[in-house]
Structure 1
Amino acid sequence: MGCTTSKANLITLTDDDIEYLTRNTHYSDQEIRDWYKGFQSDCPDGRLTKKKFLEIYSMFCPDRSPTEFCDHIYRTFDSDGDGYIDFKEFLLAVGVTTGTDPREKLKWAFKMYDINRDGLIDVEEMSKIIKSLYQMLGSEHSSYNEQAKKVQFIFDTMDNNRDGKVSLEEFIDVCNQDDQLAKLLCVGTITT
C-alpha cells in the first residue's frame, strides 16, 4: 500500500464545492452528496467520458440511435471544453435541465445549438442538432427534404433581424411565444 494513491482517492467533494453547487442548483447539501456518490460509483476517476455518457443516455431510449445527439449533449455538459465532464459540470447541467426556470433551460438548449460556441446559431448548426434529434427520436420516415424545410422554417421564424444568425435573445423570445416550438427544440435535453 505505502505511498500509492488511486485516482478515486484524489477526487473529493469539498465544502466549497457543496456551497457552490447549492447556490447554483436547486439541490440541497444532502442531495448533492447523494448525486456525488452515484457519480463516483459510475466515474471513480471523477471524469464522465463520452463513451460512458452514451451508455447511460442510451438507457433512456433503448430502441433509438442517440449517438449523434449525445455528442451535442455531451459537448454542452462539458462547459470548459476539456474533453470530459466532471461532477460540477454534470450537476450544474442536470440542475438546469431538470429545474423549473424556463429561461435557464432555454439558455442551456441554446448552448447546445451553438456548436462553435460563438454566441450565435446559424442554419447549419440548427440543422445538425435537429437532424440528430430526428435520428434519436426514430423519425427515419421523415425525409431529408422535409427535415431541411422544417429547419429552414424554424430558423427563419427565429432570425427576427434577418442577419442569418439567431442570437440567444431571438431564440428565447420565439420559444417564449411558441410552446410547441420550444418543446421541439428542447426535446432530449432533459435528463434525470
Structure 2
Amino acid sequence: MGQQNSKLTKSDIEFIGKNSNFSKEEVANIYGEFKKFDKDGNGSFDRKEFVLFFKSKLPNYPEDNLNKLFDAFDSDKSNTIDFKELTVALSIIGKGSAEDKLKVLFDIYDKDKSGILEKKEVDEMIALMKNVGVSLGKSPGDIELFIVKLFEKIDKDKNNLISREEFLTEGARSPSLLTLLGI
C-alpha cells in the first residue's frame, strides 16, 4: 500500500469509504493536510513526514510514541504510509470504538506479538500515560496512583502479565485509560 502517486483515485476513495468512518468532506480535508506534509510529493509519508504531520496536531506527544504509531499504521510494512493507511488508522483512533482503539494500542506495545504485555512493554505504555497525563495538567503523583491501580485491575490473574483479553475487557471499562493513552 505505502508507495503510490500523490493523486487520490476513485478506488482509493471507495476503499476509504468502506474502511473508515470519515465523510467525503472529512476525507478531502485530511487529504489536503496529507499533501501539505508529503514533502516529496510521492503520495506517501516516510517516517519523518509522518512525525511532522502528527507533531503539527499533537505537539506534546512524544516522538518515540509517534514512531510506534508509524510502525503500527504501516500495514504493509513498506516503511511508508500512504493516504489509505493513514485514513483507516486515523478513523480507528479518532472515530473507532473503544475496543478498536485498545486493539491498536495493544498491538503497538506487544512488540514480540506474543499476545501478552510483559513488564517492559507495560512500562513503556505507563511512560506514555504519564506524559499524556502531565500534558493534560494532572499531577504526576495522581497519575502514578491511578495507573498502578488501573493495571492491578487489568491484570485479573495477578501474574504481572497482561493478556490481550485482559487489556481489552478491562480497558473498555476505563475511559480514563484511553485518555491517558492519548487517544
Residues 65, 19 of structure 1: alpha-carbon distance in 2 compared, 3 angstrom cutoff: closer
Q: After superposition, where does 1:164-175 map in structure 2 within 5 Å?
A: 164-175=160-171
In structure 2, the partner of 1:26 is: 21
Kindly state the Cα deviation for residue 129 of structure 1 after the two structures are TM-superposed: 2.5
Q: Does 1:48 align with 2:78?
A: no
Q: After superposition, where does 1:150-165 map in structure 2 within 5 Å?
A: 153-162=149-158, 164-165=160-161
Unaligned 5+ segments in structure 2 are: none
Amino acid in the other structure paired with 1:37: G
Unaligned 5+ segments in structure 1 are: 1-6
Q: What is the aligned residue count?
A: 175
Q: Is the Cα–Cα contact under 8 Å of residues 72 and 112 in structure 1 kept in the other structure?
A: yes
For 2:128 and 2:61, the matched residues in 1 are separated by 9
Q: Is the Cα–Cα contact under 8 Å of residues 25 and 95 in structure 1 kept in the other structure?
A: yes
TM-score normalised by length of structure 2: 0.75
Identity %, equivalent residues = 25
Amino acid in the other structure paired with 1:50: R
Kindly state the Cα deviation for residue 162 of structure 1 after the two structures are TM-superposed: 4.3
Match of 1:129 among 122, 125, 131: 125
In structure 1, the partner of 2:175 is: 179
Match of 2:55 among 55, 58, 66: 58
Q: Tell me which structure has the larger Cα radius of gyration.
A: 1
Q: Is the Cα–Cα contact under 8 Å of residues 114 and 121 in structure 1 kept in the other structure?
A: yes
When the two chains are superposed, the root-mean-square deviation of aligned CA atoms in Å is 3.1
Amino acid in the other structure paired with 2:27: I
Kindly state the Cα deviation for residue 95 of structure 1 after the two structures are TM-superposed: 0.6
TM-score normalised by length of structure 1: 0.72
